[in-house]
Chain A
Amino acid sequence: EAEVAQSPRYKITEKSQAVAFWCDPISGHATLYWYRQILGQGPELLVQFQDESVVDDSQLPKDRFSAERLKGVDSTLKIQPAELGDSAMYLCASSYRGDWTDTQYFGPGTRLTVL
C-alpha cells in the first residue's frame, strides 16, 4: 500500500538554528499539506500545495517558515531560525485532488524539539 514518506522522524535542535523537513506524497497525489500539531490539539494547516502552486499559506509564519514543492512532487518545509514555541509534530499529508470527496493520508510525522 502506498504511503506518505517523511524524514527525519525526530529532530532536536537549539533555538536560532535552521531545520528542514522533507515529505514525499503518495504517487499521483496532486495536493500536499503541511500541518503542525501541538500535543493535545488537532492539526493546524500551515500550507497547502496543488501541484507546485501554493493554494493556502495564510497560517504559515512567513518571517521564519518557508515551504516549497518545486516539481510538484516532494516538498520541503524549513524553519529559520527555530524558536522554543516551534516544538511540535510536523505532519505531511497528501490527497488525490484536494476536493470534497478526497481523503487526506498522513505520513508518520517529524517530532521537533527546540532546546
Chain B
Amino acid sequence: GQNIDQPTEMTATEGAIVQINCTYQTSGFNGLFWYQQHAGEAPTFLSYNVLDGLEEKGRFSSFLSRSKGYSYLLLKELQMKDSASYLCAASDSNYQLIWGAGTKLIIKP
C-alpha cells in the first residue's frame, strides 16, 4: 500500500532550528512536496524534491533520499509565524499526491 509517515507534533524555540522528518512508501515515485498549512487555511507550497540531495530556499531547506524513502524539512531561525502544520506529500506513478497527516509545529518564545 501507499503510506506517508511524519511526526504528529513538534515543539521548538524561536530562533532555533527544527527538522521535520517524513518517510514514504508509494507505487512509483515522482517527487516529494512539502506544504505549510496555518490553522484554518489552505496549504501553501514550500518545496519540491525529485533528485537526492538538499534544496535550499531561504530559511527553509528540504532533503530527499530516494533509496531510503526519506525526506526532511529543515527550518532555520524559527519565527513565531512558522507555527503551522507541515504536510509531506509524495507524487506516485499516476502523479497523484499521497499526503501525510501533517506535523503540527509549535514555536515557543
A56 cross-chain contacts in B, Cβ below 8 A:
94, 96
Q: Is A28 an interface residue (CB 8 A)?
A: no
Instruction: Decide if A42 touches B95 in the complex (CB within 8 Å).
Output: no
List the B side residues contacting A103 at CB < 8 Å.
33, 45, 48
In chain A between 16 and 57, which residues have their CB closer than 8 angstroms to a CB of chain B?
40-45, 48, 56
Q: Are B43 and A100 within 8 A (Cβ)?
A: no
A91 and B42: CB pair below 8 A?
A: yes
B73 within 8 Å of A (CB atoms): no
Tell me the dominant secondary structure on chain A's binding face.
loop
Bound: A48/B95 CA distance, A: 11
User: When A105-B45, A106-B43, A106-B44 are in contact, do A100 and B100 touch as well, CB less than 8 Å?
Assistant: no
In the bound complex, what is the Cα–Cα distance between A108 and B40 (angstroms)? Answer: 9
Of all chain A residues, the one with the shortest Cβ separation from B30 is A100
A residues 81-115 near B (Cβ < 8 Å) are: 91, 98-109, 111
Do A111 and B99 touch across chains, with their CB atoms under 8 A apart? no
Among B40, B48, B91, B99, the residue within 8 A (CB) of A42 is B99
Which size class do A's interface residues fall under?
Answer: 20 to 34
Q: Which residue of chain A lies nearest to B40 when distances are taken between CB atoms in the complex?
A: A111
The yes or no answer to B101 lying at the interface (CB within 8 A) is yes
Closest to B29 in A: A100
Q: Does B50 have its Cβ within 8 Å of any Cβ on chain A?
A: yes
Residues in B with CB closer than 8 Å to A45 are 96-97
- Check if B78 is an interface residue, CB within 8 A of chain A: no
Contact status B96-A48, CB under 8 Å: yes
Task: Please list the 9 inter-chain residue pairs (A to B) with the smallest Cβ-Cβ separation, ordered nearest first.
Answer: A42-B99, A100-B30, A106-B42, A109-B42, A42-B101, A103-B45, A41-B101, A106-B43, A99-B95
Q: Which B residues have a C-beta under 8 Å from some C-beta of A?
A: 4, 30-31, 33, 40-45, 48, 50, 87, 89, 91, 94-97, 99-102
Instruction: List, sorted by A's number, 16 A–B pairs whose CB atoms are closer than 8 Å.
Output: A40-B101, A41-B101, A42-B87, A42-B99, A43-B87, A43-B97, A43-B99, A99-B95, A101-B31, A102-B95, A103-B33, A104-B97, A105-B45, A106-B44, A107-B42, A108-B41
